[in-house]
Amino acid sequence: MLDGLDLARPELLSGQSLIDGAWTDCERVIPVINPATGRKIGDVGDCGAHDAERAVAAASRALPGWRAIAPRTRQAALLRWRELILANAEDLARILTAEQGKPLVEARGEIHYAASFLEWFAEEAKRAYGDIIPGHQPDKRLLVLREPVGVVGAITPWNFPAAMITRKVGPALAVGCTMVLKPSELTPYTALALARLAVESALIPPGVFNVVVGEAEPIGAVLTQDPRVRKFSFTGSTAVGKMLGARCMSTVKRVSLELGGNAPFIVFDDADLGQAVEGAIASKFRNTGQTCVCANRLLVQSGVYSAFAEHLAERVSELAVGDGLKGQMDQGPLINEAALRKVERHVEDARAGGASALTGGHALPGEGCFYAPTVLVDVAPDALLCREETFGPVAGLVRFETEAEAIGLANEGTAGLASYLYTRDLDRAFRVTEALRYGMVGVNTGLISTEVAPFGGVRESGLGREGARQGLDDYLDYKLMCLGLAPDPGGRSG
């Protein structure tokens, strides 16, 4: 047992990176800390640019063979990997909770969510269809082929260290690409455990999937600038995504970016308040508010403002907070001290602007990076809580009077990932959905993510979509074949 993990298969907790099918040690190491205890789980190798280049070379060598095999063979590989993930789901969930902090029940859900992407894209592997276009001239035939883009570089975040990996690796491998993945150095053990199961499947050849753990700058420089990498996928902050995307243009790579959000959660006077409160709990407080699609500002119409605030505060005050490995918890810790300080700064700013806490509003004493689940009322629309992504368990309520005012407040800023609205008026549901400048809108629900629907944003929240059939698009190139027919030697027509 290590830091309370008690794994059935301790070998899944490994600090070695995977390059060309071999487990690789590095000269330097990075400590991995449990945010619930502040104690070290262990050390992982800190790979640098040289190891990233080795991984890219391995992926480049493996590409011709992997893209040439039949889609059903790639399908079988992904399905076998999925089976192993589900067979080891409890160990994976415990590793995830230990390094990321989310409650164990949420970690279990994430492991199953991660496996769902492998199943979905395994099925889609056989459906990367092209087109036949009617010829523009009698002697021409037009065929549109879809081919794997090539080697993919990917960087994934710490808040969903399993699902954000399979959401990228699944479609890439399904269509015949190979990949070099850099997971967050804050949560590398989950990625490395998934990689061990990929190797164990014995159906994914060496070099097809590589995992390189280390500091972001040297590895990211290779993945964004090496000409052998033809597509780059990143999930993380908007500022970092802009910088990485710009670097990719030096070799004109395909780029997918899933960036920051600032999700409005709109509650109209005619909403079912019980449903709205439960939706707010699910959206705002899942993963301790550390999701890119979580409600960041709660816009509540004046007629139901007080009732909604009171009901929400009552529910939030009941949330159990603690170490996800030590019992049934609703909330875990924030990922690190920096995240805790940001939440404190946002709450202090809101209070300075006239807000008050109905519940919470303070860090919790003792070890770990815990902050009390919080409901703030009378938050000013220009508070930091409304202008920046808080990434913490703080629900800030802003009052509005009219539908037009709500839409105006919701569309302020440059983010455009997720948004939510609650109403029992079907006309309003369509009207407001169409007016919101966001890539995803949850109507009367706080949970919108699924492998069968496209996930992604507009404006400065990113490029491309993940999940669904659209999730294949960014891993495929279109190729036109314009076929000129020879004249009929017999002079026949028709």
Q: How far apart are CA 291 and CA 361, in angstroms?
A: 20
Examine the domain organization and report whether 55 and 179 are in the same domain.
Answer: yes
Examine the domain organization and report whether 272 and 417 are in the same domain.
Answer: yes
Break the chain down into helix, strand, coil percent, rounded to 5: 40, 20, 40
pLDDT of residue 489: 78
Q: Domain for residue 239, yes or no?
A: yes
Query: CA 87 → CA 14, 69, 119, 193, distances in Å?
Result: 18, 27, 14, 13
What residues are paired with 463 via a beta bridge?
257
Query: CA 271 → CA 397, 400, 443, distances in Å?
Result: 16, 14, 11
Examine the domain organization and report whether 84 and 182 are in the same domain.
Answer: yes
User: Would you state the structure tokens that stand for residue 280, as one six-digit string?
Assistant: 């707010």
Q: Domain for residue 489, yes or no?
A: no
What residues are paired with 410 via a beta bridge?
none
The CATH number linked to 197 is: 3.40.605.10
- Is-catalytic flag, 386? no
Examine the domain organization and report whether 340 and 220 are in the same domain.
Answer: no
| Three-class HEC string of 378-418 | CCCCCCHHHHCCCCCCEEEEEEECCHHHHHHHHCCCCCCCE
Which residues does 230 contact at the CB level (< 8 Å), separation at least 6? 149, 150, 151, 152, 253, 254
Examine the domain organization and report whether 168 and 41 are in the same domain.
Answer: yes
Examine the domain organization and report whether 252 and 269 are in the same domain.
Answer: no
Q: Domain for residue 4, yes or no?
A: no
| Three-class HEC string of 277-292 | HHHHHHHHHHHHHCCC
Q: How far apart are CA 102 and CA 407, in angstroms?
A: 33
Q: Domain for residue 491, yes or no?
A: no
Examine the domain organization and report whether 29 and 46 are in the same domain.
Answer: yes
DSSP state of 28: S
Examine the domain organization and report whether 118 and 212 are in the same domain.
Answer: yes
Helices marked H in 294-400 — which ranges?
Answer: 305-317, 337-352, 384-387
What sign has the CA pseudo-torsion 31, 36, 37, 38? positive
| DSSP-derived secondary structure for 410-475 | HT-SS--SEEEEE-S-HHHHHHHHHHS--SEEEES-S----TTS-B--SGGGEES-BSTGGGGGGG
Number of domains the chain is built from? 2
pLDDT of residue 1: 42
Choosing from 110, 119, 258, 466, which is the catalytic residue? 258
Per-residue pLDDT of the chain (494 residues; tens, 9 = 90+): 455 688 999 999 999 999 999 999 988 999 999 999 999 999 999 999 999 999 999 999 999 999 999 999 999 999 999 999 999 999 999 999 999 999 999 999 999 999 999 999 999 999 999 999 999 999 999 999 999 999 999 999 999 999 999 999 999 999 999 999 999 999 999 999 999 999 999 999 999 999 999 999 999 999 999 999 999 999 999 999 999 999 999 999 999 999 999 999 999 999 999 999 999 999 999 999 999 999 999 999 999 999 999 999 999 999 999 999 999 999 999 999 999 999 999 999 999 999 999 999 999 999 999 999 999 999 999 999 999 999 999 999 999 999 999 999 999 999 999 999 999 999 999 999 999 999 999 999 999 999 999 999 999 999 999 999 999 999 999 999 999 999 887 766 55
Tell me the helices (H) and strands (E) count for the chain, helix number first: 14, 20
Task: Tell me the Ramachandran region of residue 334: left when phi exceeds 0, alpha when psi lies from -120 to 50, beta otherwise.
Answer: beta
Choosing from 26, 47, 177, 292, which is the catalytic residue? 292
Number of C-beta neighbours around residue 366 at 10 A: 9
Q: Domain for residue 487, yes or no?
A: no
Q: Domain for residue 453, yes or no?
A: no
The CATH number linked to 281 is: 3.40.309.10
Q: Domain for residue 107, yes or no?
A: yes
Q: Domain for residue 46, yes or no?
A: yes
Examine the domain organization and report whether 305 and 397 are in the same domain.
Answer: yes
- Is-catalytic flag, 258? yes
Examine the domain organization and report whether 468 and 385 are in the same domain.
Answer: no
Examine the domain organization and report whether 338 and 475 are in the same domain.
Answer: no
Examine the domain organization and report whether 287 and 193 are in the same domain.
Answer: no
- Structural domain including 29 reads 10-258+464-479
